[in-house]
Amino acid sequence: MAALPQYDYLFAFGTIFAFLDAWNIGANDVANSWATSVASRSISYLYAMCAASVMEFAGAMGVGARVADTIRTKIVDTEQYNDDPAVLMLGMVCAVVASSLYLTFATKVGFPVSTTHSILGGVIGMGVASVGAKNILWVGSGGGTNVISTGVVQVFMAWIIAPCLSAIFGAIIFSITKYVVLLRTNPAMKGLFVVPIYFAITGMLITMLLIWKGGSYEINLTDQEIPGVIVAAGSAWGLLIATFLCPWLYRVVIREDWEMKWYHMFKGPFLLRRGEVPPAPANFQGPIRNFYAGRLTPEQLAARRADGVAGGEVDVEAAQPAVAGEKNIGSTAALAATEEPEAMPEHKSLVGPKPEGKWNTKPVLFWYVKYALVDKDVVGSQNDKGAIGGDIEEIHARATHYDNRTEFLFTFLQIMTACSASFVHGANDVSNAIGPYATIFEIWQKGYIPPADKAQVPLWIFAFGGGGIVIGIWTYGYNIMRNLGNRLTLQSPTRGFSIELGSVVTIILATRLKLPISTTQCLTGATVGVGLCNGDWRAINWRMVLWIYAGWFLTLPVAGLISGSLLAIIINAPRWS
C-alpha cells in the first residue's frame, strides 16, 4: 500500500518516462559502446545486439549496485525537502521527463551523449527551480579528490579528462601493436604470440575494474591480496587462451586449415598434431574476411576520381592489403596486392523475402518486426555522404591497411573487451540512470525521503531498467552505431581493440582516482587517439568530432532548462481557491 496514494499519477508518469530513459540508454549509450566492434567487422550487428543485451542485463541484475548512491545525493541538498517530500518526488519526475525527452532527441539526430549527464542536468534544473541555486552542490566538499568527484564540476572535468586520457591510452596500445606486430615481417605469426599476452592483460584490467567498481557484492581483499588476485586471474585467462584458442588460430590462420570448425578449439594442443591440410573445395570462403573491403587506397582513390567516378556511395570499392608499402602493409603470406579493387560485400538480408498476404496477417507482421529489428546494414550506411560525414572516402584513404590475417586474430580480443565493458556498464551506470526513479518509488511508497547517503534500490527496478535498455538496443541502437565507427576514422579489429582497451584503462584509472568520466567520452577520445596513429590528422573526421562535442555541451543545460521550466510552471501555477 502506497503511503502517498494521492500521487499515484506522479508515480505513473515517472514509470513511463523512466522506461523511456532506460530505452535511450540502450539506443544511445550502449550502442556507441559496440559501434567500433560492428564497424570493424569483428562482429555482425545481430550478434552485437545479442551480446550487448545479455551482458548489460547480466551486469544490471547480477552485479548491479543494489545500494545505489543515487545521483540526487551528489547534486541537491535533499534536506531542503524534508517538510514536503512530495515536491522532491515531483522534481524527480520532471528530471526524468526532461532527461528522456532530450535523450530521445539526441538519439534521433545522432548525438552520442552521456545519459548520466542528461539526468544530472535534469536534477540540477529541478533543484534550482525548487530550492534555489544555493542548495545545488556545484563543487564537492571534503578536500582531496572528492572535490572533483562530486558536484556539478564533475561534468565539466569529464569533458577534458575522459577524452584526453582515453586518447593517450588508445594511442599507446595501438602503437605497441603497430610496431611489435603489424609492421613486422610475417605479422600473423607475431600476432599469434602477442594475442595471449593481450588477453592476459585485458583479464587483469577487467578484474581490477570488477574489484574497484564492481557493484553490490563487496569484495573484502587487503591491499596485499588485490595485486595477487589480479595477476592470477589475468594469467589464468591468458593461459587458457594460449592452450585452446591459439592452436586453433594457428591451424586457421597460419596453416589455412579449411576443415577447422569452432568446436575444434576444445582440442587445444592436440590440434598441432593434425596432418597436412587437403586442398580446399572450389569457391570455399574461410572465416578470414577482407576487413578493408569497401575502402580505397590513396592511389586508387586518385585514379578513380581522375576517371570522373563519383564517390561516397555505399558500394564503394576497396583493395586487399598490399604486400608492402607505406599505406598498405601485409606479410609475404598475405593476399597479394591487386590492381583490381574488391567491392564491398553486399548486405545479406537476414529476414528473407517478404511473405505473400495482407499487411495485417501474422507472417507479414512478423516479417516487418524482423526487418525493423535485425536487418540493418550498419557498416554500409556509414559510407553515406553528408554535411557531418564529410569526405569519408578521403578520410579512409589516409588510413593504413594491414594484413587481414593479423586483423582476424584481434577480432576475438575486441569482442572480449566490448563484452566486458558492456557488463561493467550494466553493473554501474544503469544504477545512476534509475536512481531518480528509485527516489520517486520510495517517496511514493514510504511517504518520506530515504537517508541521503544510501538508498536501497529494489531488484525489480534493476530488471525494469535492464529491460528498457535491451528494448532500446534492438529497436534503435543502429542509429548511433552508424553515426560512429567508420564515420570518425577507419576502423579495423586492431584499431577497435585498442580503442576499447584504452577506454577500459581510462575507466579503471578514473575509478581509482575518483575522477569523473563518461563511457561515451572515453570511446570518442580513444577513437581520435588511435586515428592520429595513422600519421595524418586528416584521417579523422573532425566535423563529426565537433558534432559529438556539441552534443556533450548541450546535454546538461538543455536537460536542466526543460526540467527546471517544467517544475517551475507546475509549482507556481494558479490553483482553485
Task: Look at residue 337 and give its three-state secondary structure.
Answer: coil
Where are the alpha helices (H) located in 296-355, listed in sequence order? 298-306
Q: Considering the domain boundaries, does residue 407 fall inside one? A: yes
Is residue 283 included in any domain, yes or no?
A: no
Q: How remote is the C-alpha of 43 from its chain's centroid? A: 14
Would you say residue 130 has pLDDT above 70? yes
Which one-letter DSSP state was computed for residue 560?
Answer: H
Number of domains in the chain: 1
Cα–Cα distance for residue pair 203/215, rounded to 1 Å: 18
Q: What is the largest CA-CA distance in the chain?
A: 93
How many Å apart are CA 242 and CA 244, to the nearest integer? 6
Distance between CA atoms of 24 and 95, rounded to whole angstroms? Answer: 15
Within-domain flag for 384: no
- Distance of alpha carbon 41 from alpha carbon 39, whole angstroms: 5
Which position has the higher pLDDT, 243 or 451? 243
Could you tell me which residues are beta bridge partners of residue 343? 317
- The percent of the chain in helix, strand and coil, each rounded to the nearest 5, is 65, 0, 30
Query: How open is the CA angle 153-562-467, to the nearest 5 degrees?
Result: 85
pLDDT digits (tens, 9 = 90+) for 215-252: 555 667 788 888 999 999 999 999 999 999 999 999 99
Measured CA distances, 144 to 59, 156, 345, 454 (Å): 30, 18, 54, 22
Range of the domain at 115: 5-272+401-571
Which among 152-156, 395-399, 421-425 has the top mean pLDDT?
395-399
Whether 365 maps to a domain, the answer reads no
Asked whether residue 312 is assigned to any structural domain, the reply reads no
Question: What percent of the chain lies above the pLDDT cut of 70?
Answer: 79
Q: Would 334 be classed as within a structural domain?
A: no
Query: Can you tell me the distance from the alpha carbon of 563 to that of 83, in angstroms, rounded to the nearest whole number?
Result: 22
Kindly report, residue by residue over 139-178, the tens digit of the pLDDT: 765 444 444 556 677 777 777 888 999 999 999 999 999 9
Closest Cα partner for 528 from 515, 540, 517, 519? Answer: 540
Whole-prediction pTM value? 0.84
- Could you read off the pLDDT of 347-362 as tens digits, one per residue? 455 556 677 777 677 7
Q: List the single range of 29-43, 253-267, 552-566 with lowest mean pLDDT.
A: 29-43
67 has which bridge partners? 456
Q: What percent of the chain has pLDDT over 90?
A: 31
- pLDDT at 415 (0 to 100): 93
- Residue 257 inside a domain? The answer is yes
Question: Per-residue DSSP letters for 59-116?
Answer: HHHHS--SEE--THHHHB-GGGGTT-HHHHHHHHHHHHHHHHHHHHHHHHHT----HH
The burial of 576, by beta-carbon neighbours within 10 Å (0-12 exposed, 13-18 middle, 19 or more buried), is given as: exposed
Q: Which range is least confidently modeled, 261-270, 329-338, 462-471?
A: 329-338
450 assigned to some structural domain = yes
Residue type at 420? Answer: S
- pLDDT confidence bin for 20, thresholds 50/70/90: very high
- Tell me which of 429 and 26 has the higher pLDDT: 26
